[in-house]
């Protein structure tokens, strides 16, 4: 959160802490920003909108409050159920959001994990207070739970194995060089243009680009828990990279950059993701958190998709009868779930 605060200077961050008898019994992070609706317009219309904003500041923007951020997933809150009921916690949270951001037009609470009993109970409490449930993009995760890379590979279905072998052979044929760099500050200027290429090609999840200062902040604040995996050709030219955060239990490759003039002929994304799985297995991580989007490739690697929901409400009370019934239309289209692992009786390992 510190890295995000230092990077998104126009975004406001508020941290709710609920105390009881001197102990923290509830926490949440709430943000507000002027959300740019222009990112959903065609490129030509977006450029026109940018010119018009010089005359009409705030054109095609929405004052949006959110429990959470666009860059993070899963629950952005915690409360001790022995000290607070769902109703009490939700009431405290809503009061804090309305007090901090009284001009917000929309409030989003994210993310409720499908199948999680506590999450579902809390979501129902928000729905009782006039929110609507909206489907977010699912989270792609690989559960290793002690498996090494060979064991994980062995459980994949045959078609996935063939795809991965083909990608790794193409890497060797082209003499691509991979390197993981922990002290990566000097690489940021080289990496950032490749990140922008990926951002500009995004289809499933559109948002404003993450500023370059985020990379610098990440390198400074989390130097012992982060790294950049690079792919270079035989001449040393940077073709792709992956920015990753790693804890004792989770490896999270979450920002990627690629030179699209090479990615059409080289399976760069497959190579990066497979090497991140290998890194996680070597470190003994139980899980690889692959984030959202690009689900076909991630499922090929063995990632399952965890459904996430959000609760959304229009903040001006007079607008709720008109707008709230339309909010479920904001649900993200869910990707097709594929079979991940082999069937022992029909497939060879």
pLDDT profile of the chain (349 residues), mean per 10: 94 96 96 76 60 60 92 94 95 97 96 94 96 96 96 96 95 93 96 94 77 95 94 94 96 95 86 97 97 94 96 94 90 91 63
Reported residue count of the chain is: 349
C-alpha to C-alpha distance for 238 and 195, rounded to whole angstroms: 12
CA angle in degrees (0–180, nearest 5) for 314-317-323 = 45
Closest CA to 35 of 10, 54, 56: 10
Per-residue pLDDT at 62: 84
- CATH 3.40.630.30 in the chain, residue ranges: 140-305
- Residue 55 near residue 116, CB atoms below 8 Å: no
C-alpha to C-alpha distance for 239 and 242, rounded to whole angstroms: 11
For the stretch 37-85, pLDDT in tens is: 655 555 555 666 666 656 656 655 789 999 999 999 999 999 999 999 9
Tokens representing 185? Answer: 């500050």
Residue 257 forms beta bridges with which residues? 241
CATH class of 2-137+307-330: alpha beta
- Report the SS3 class of residue 184: coil
- Report the SS3 class of residue 253: strand
DSSP codes of every residue in 282-338: HHT-SEEE--SS-HHHHHHTT-EEE-EEEEEEESSGGGHHHHGGGGGGGPPPPPPP-
Helical segments of 34-85, H only:
43-52
Per-residue pLDDT at 44: 59
Per-residue pLDDT at 2: 93
Per-residue pLDDT at 349: 45
- Residue 114 near residue 334, CB atoms below 8 Å: no
CATH topology of domain 140-305: Aminopeptidase (3.40.630)
Residues 6+ apart with CB under 8 A from 215: 188, 191, 192, 243
């Amino acid at each position: 959160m510190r890295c995000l605060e230092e990077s998104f200077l126009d975004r406001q961050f508020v941290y709710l802490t609920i105390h009881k008898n001197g102990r923290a019994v509830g926490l949440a992070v709430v943000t507000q920003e002027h959300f740019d609706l222009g990112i959903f317009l065609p490129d030509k219309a977006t450029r026109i909108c940018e010119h018009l904003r010089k005359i009409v500041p705030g054109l095609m923007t929405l004052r949006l409050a959110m429990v959470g951020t666009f860059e993070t997933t899963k629950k952005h809150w915690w409360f001790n159920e022995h000290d607070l009921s769902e109703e009490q916690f939700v009431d405290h949270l809503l009061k804090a959001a309305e007090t901090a951001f009284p001009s917000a037009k929309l409030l989003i609470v994210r993310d409720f994990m499908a199948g999680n009993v506590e999450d579902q109970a809390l979501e129902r409490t928000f729905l009782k207070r006039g929110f609507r449930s909206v489907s977010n993009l699912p989270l792609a995760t690989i559960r290793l739970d002690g498996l090494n890379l060979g064991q994980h590979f062995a459980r994949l279905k045959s078609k996935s194995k063939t795809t991965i072998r083909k990608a790794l052979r193409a890497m060797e044929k082209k003499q691509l060089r991979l390197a993981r760099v922990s002290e990566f500050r000097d690489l940021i200027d080289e990496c950032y243009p490749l990140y922008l290429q990926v951002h500009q090609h995004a289809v499933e999840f559109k948002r404003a680009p993450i500023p370059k200062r985020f990379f610098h902040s990440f390198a400074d604040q989390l130097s012992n828990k982060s790294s950049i995996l690079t792919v270079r050709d035989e001449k040393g030219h940077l073709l792709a990279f992956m920015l990753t955060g790693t804890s004792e239990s989770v490896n999270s490759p979450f920002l990627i950059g690629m030179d699209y003039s090479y990615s059409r002929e080289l399976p760069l994304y497959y190579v990066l993701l497979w090497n991140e799985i290998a890194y996680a297995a070597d470190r003994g991580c139980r899980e690889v958190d692959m984030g959202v989007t690009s689900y076909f490739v991630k499922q090929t690697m063995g990632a399952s998709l965890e459904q996430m929901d959000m609760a959304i409400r229009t903040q001006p009370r007079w607008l709720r009868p008109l707008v709230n019934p339309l909010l479920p239309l904001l649900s993200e289209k869910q990707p097709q779930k594929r079979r991940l692992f082999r069937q022992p009786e029909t497939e060879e390992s």
